[in-house]
Amino acid sequence: MRTQPLLQHDDAMAAIDAIRHEVARMGKAAVIAVADAHGELLALLRLDGAPESSVRVASNKAFTAARLRRPTRVLGETLRSRGTDIAFYGDARYTGFGGGLPVLVGDTVVGAIAVSGLTDAEDETLAAIGIAAIPGANPPPAQDRGR
């Protein structure tokens, strides 16, 4: 039997707090979503002033990053380069917008963190800050991280 690490409530809250503080420092607003390894939500925070539409986008980014085990930006770039429609994936929750990152412990994806409401680059940078706040978590491999 294989034992797999899990993203816990305290991990989700640590990530949300770290991102929330950085967003406040920036003087902006966003939605933060944390999902388990299956892409299902563990926590979600919509900061004051963040667009309502960003709730679903952040949730979908977290779902996509966890399920595909890579940054959502990579899916978007792949689809654009191939001229493929996102509907190919067969689930409306998949998205290619940047800002969702898988959370890894070693080489195991234990969940995902996503941010929505700012630019894709800002969203992804903030998601990485959330990952850094989780003890034992490491960011996606360098080739998968934003530019």
> Is 51 a domain residue?
yes
Q: How many structural domains are present in the chain?
A: 1
> Is 102 a domain residue?
yes
Q: What is the DSSP letter of 141?
A: P
What pLDDT band is residue 85 in, cutting at 50, 70 and 90? confident
pTM, 2 dp: 0.92
Judged against a pLDDT cut of 50, whether residue 147 lies above it is answered with: no
Q: What is the rounded CA–CA span in Å between residue 48 and residue 44?
A: 13
Kindly report, residue by residue over 43-52, the tens digit of the pLDDT: 999 999 999 9
What pLDDT band is residue 99 in, cutting at 50, 70 and 90? very high
Which amino acid makes up residue 126? Answer: L
For residue 36, the domain's CATH number is 3.30.450.150
Q: What are phi and psi of 118, to 5 degrees?
A: -120, -160
> Is 147 a domain residue?
no
> Is 42 a domain residue?
yes
90's tokens: 């067969």
What pLDDT band is residue 140 in, cutting at 50, 70 and 90? confident
41-46 and 31-36 as β-strands: parallel, antiparallel, unpaired? antiparallel
> Is 110 a domain residue?
yes
Domain housing 84 = 9-135
With residue 61 as reference, give the H or E element that holds it.
helix 53-68
Judged against a pLDDT cut of 80, whether residue 143 lies above it is answered with: no
Q: What is the mean pLDDT of the chain?
A: 93
Q: What is the rounded CA–CA span in Å between residue 80 and residue 63?
A: 20
> Is 97 a domain residue?
yes
> Is 143 a domain residue?
no
